[in-house]
Structures are given as C-alpha cells and as structure tokens.
Amino acid sequence: MFKIIVLLNLLIFTNIALAEPVVIVNTGNANAIDAKVVKRIFLGKEKKFADGSETVPVNQAASSATRQAFDSEVLKRSTTQVAAYWSKLVFTGKGIPPKELGSDAEVIDLVSANPSVIGYVDRASVTGAVKVIEL
C-alpha cells in the first residue's frame, strides 16, 4: 500500500513539474501585467486591466497539470485551496469563479477571439494567435 501511495505522489508531482504554464492575452491587449496583478485577477480581486477595460479570466480544468502548476506557481495555493477559496466566495455571494475550459486549444481560441480574456496554457502550446505575458 505504501508503495502505491509513493508511486501516485511521484506521478502527480512529476506531471506538475512537466507543465510550464504561461499567462496569455489577446494580441491587441497592450496592458502591462505582472504576477501580482495576475494573481488578483484569478482570485477575483481585480476586475479591470490598467487601461480600465474588463478582465475575464479563464481557468483550465482542475485535473489539468497546467492548472495545478499555475495554481501553485502563480496563485501560491494548491488547486484544492483555490477551490475552497471560490466555494466560500460563491456561498457568501461575493464572487463567481473563472470559467473552466478543457484544453490549451480552447483557451487559446477564446483568448485570441476576445481582448478581455486572460488565461494560461502550457508554454509548448502557445501559438502566434496570442501574446505571452512573462511573469
């Protein structure tokens, strides 16, 4: 039993280590965005870009290695902690979590079609249709 638990932990953390999430925005978005602003956007604390335009964050599925790496590296929380955070906000009527999409391609398609959307994908999936925000 112990070996199975160790093996599962190795598989999970190896999967997270392989994912390299990068934040992406529409190519027409000229806003300067740093890690602190990205964190505030994805936690629902920031609703607008610096130019006053609306932000619409989109998440990957909770089971995604990219999502788990993003939550850990950028939000500084586990995916479980982020889910609990949003559950509390939803329950108290103070927030709605970002929409979840199922793949990097879906995130890229939505971001490239809408200048308000901000998302993240694995670095290997980035195309010229979006702009990468280096954190």
Q: Measured between alpha carbons, how far is 123 from 70 in angstroms, rounded to an integer?
A: 12
Higher per-residue confidence, 31 vs 74: 74
User: Domains of the chain, with CATH numbers?
Assistant: 2-133 (3.40.190.10)
Counting other chains too, the contacts that 45-53 makes at CB distance below 8 Å and 24 or more residues apart are 53/115, 53/116
Using one digit for the tens of pLDDT, what is the confidence trace for 35-91? 999 999 999 999 999 899 999 999 999 999 999 999 999 999 999 999 999 999 999
CB 34 within 8 A of CB 135: yes
Q: Measured between alpha carbons, how far is 48 from 30 in angstroms, rounded to an integer?
A: 13
**Which DSSP state fits 54?**
B
Using one digit for the tens of pLDDT, what is the confidence trace for 9-19? 555 554 445 78
For 100, phi then psi, to 5°, come to: -105, 135
